[in-house]
Homo-oligomer: A and B are copies of this chain.
Amino acid sequence: MPAGPFQPFAHLHPVAPPVATDTRENVLLAAGEVFAHRGFKDATIREICERADANIAAVSYHFGDKAGLYAAVLEYAYAIASQRAPIEAFFAHANTPEQKLRAMVEMMFTRIVDQGRPSWHGVLMAREMVEPTSALDHVVTQSIAPMWKRMTDIVHAFLGPHASEAEITAAGNSIVGQILHYKHARPIIVRMQHGQAYSSEQIDYWARHVADFSVAGLHALRAAIDQRSTPTHDSGAFS
């Protein structure tokens, strides 16, 4: 067994973050792409190391495991995602619930569906929801749960204080589901809905549509809730 220096320089330079050998970071970057593209199980260490110009054994040496590499990638992706496109930036000028909802939709489209930048963090999260790995616990507490909290808070503000928990989660699922559909069903969308699918303009259009569609759904749900919780006394009147 190798000496296993999984935390290199741990006892020196307590300042600098991981610091990362060249190959270590190369493997991390390549692994991010491959994991995001193929998923944990279908990704092969050989492809990752080939893209990183590294030897197969590099994974075992630097990360111990395939699972260890995956965990490191998640950490790395989380770090650069929150650094490069911080969540708060999307909500900077969002004051009303509707503005917050639109910011939320835009952010999720940017992080999950858009693909240009090295932003595989959203993609990995989306994958983790569909086919969880052993890293799910960590992903949930670090990323998914806070995001879901933010979403349900917005929905709650829309639906008012009388909304039940079931209504809030159902509405949240409706919004998230619309967005994730463009990621999950991408192959079939590209195939059946011709036109230059997944261009930036197209994604912008979809994001606006999902926001509009959801706002209408939320307003209708709010109306039903209000009518239920404060029934009109002149019950004979039309709607």
- A residues contacting B by CB (< 8 A) are 41-42, 128-132, 136, 140, 144-145, 148, 166-167, 169-171, 173-174, 176-182, 184-185, 187-189, 191-193, 195, 205-206, 209-210, 212-217, 219-221, 224
Contact = CB atoms under 8 A, between A and B. Distances in A.
A24 B214 CA distance: 48
21 contacts: A129-B184, A129-B187, A130-B184, A130-B187, A132-B187, A136-B187, A144-B192, A166-B205, A167-B209, A169-B193, A170-B205, A170-B206, A170-B213, A173-B178, A173-B182, A174-B178, A176-B185, A177-B178, A178-B181, A180-B184, A213-B217
A212 B205 contact: no
Contacts of A205: 166, 170
A55 to B, nearest CB: 27
A34 to B, nearest CB: 16
Nearest to A129: B188
Given A178-B181, A212-B217, A212-B224, 5 more contacts: A140-B188, A144-B192, A169-B193, A180-B181, A180-B184
A177 B182 CA distance: 8
A75 to B, nearest CB: 20
Contacts of A220: 212-213, 215-216, 219
Q: This chain: how many copies in the complex?
A: 2
Contacts of A216: 216-217, 219-221
Nearest to A139: B188
Contacts of A174: 178, 181, 209-210, 213
B132 A170 contact: no
A163 B188 CA distance: 22
Contact of A180 (B185, B206, B224): B185
Contact of A184 (B42, B184, B189, B214): B184
Contacts of A221: 212-213, 216
A140 B192 CA distance: 9
A171 B41 CA distance: 34
Nearest to A131: B187
A128 B185 CA distance: 9
